Structure 1
Amino acid sequence: MDDNNKNRSFLDRDRLSVDQYYEVEQFARENGVSPSQISRLIKKNGNDRMTLTQALRALRDRK
């Protein structure tokens, strides 16, 4: 992903950039988990936002 937030394409919204910590932090805050949990989920499931959201729901259902 480009560092300039103004140069975004529609593809940028579907993926979470692991290199941009603020994105991981924001996604974690939105979903009520820690950034380290998001990082582990990204390593396991990839960086697709929909897949990560589904994985988070599955984790909540297990608890």
Structure 2
Amino acid sequence: MSDDKSRRDGRDRSRVAADEDYELDYFAERHGLTRDEARALIEKHGNSRDVLDGDAARQGRR
């Protein structure tokens, strides 16, 4: 079953949903990463957007 895109309340914006291609692609593009690099960061740090944004910024990929 696909996500209901009409229900947008921001509850899950603090997490990166690695199982959703569009979320993974957005995160990767935003930080200049490949999809595999983004997935590796998520596996390393979990799916907290703050932690992932911080690590990507420290790597100078923003």
**Fold match, TM over 0.5?**
yes
Partner of 1:31: 31
* Pairs within 5 Å for 1:43-58: 43-58=43-58
Unaligned runs of 5+ in 1: none
Q: CA RMSD in A?
A: 1.8
| Structure possessing the higher relative contact order (Cα contacts under 8 Å, 6 or more residues apart) | 2
Deviation at 1:26, TM superposition (A): 1.1
Q: TM-score, normalised by structure 1?
A: 0.80
Whichever structure has more helix as a proportion of its residues is: 1
Unaligned runs of 5+ in 2: none
Runs ≥4 residues deviating over 4 A: none
Q: TM-score, normalised by structure 2?
A: 0.81
Aligned AA (2:5) = N
Aligned residues between the structures: 60
Q: Which string of whole-angstrom CA distances, capped at 9 and with x for unpartnered residues, describes residues 11-54 of structure 1?
A: 21111101101110011111111111110000010111111011
Q: Percent identity?
A: 30
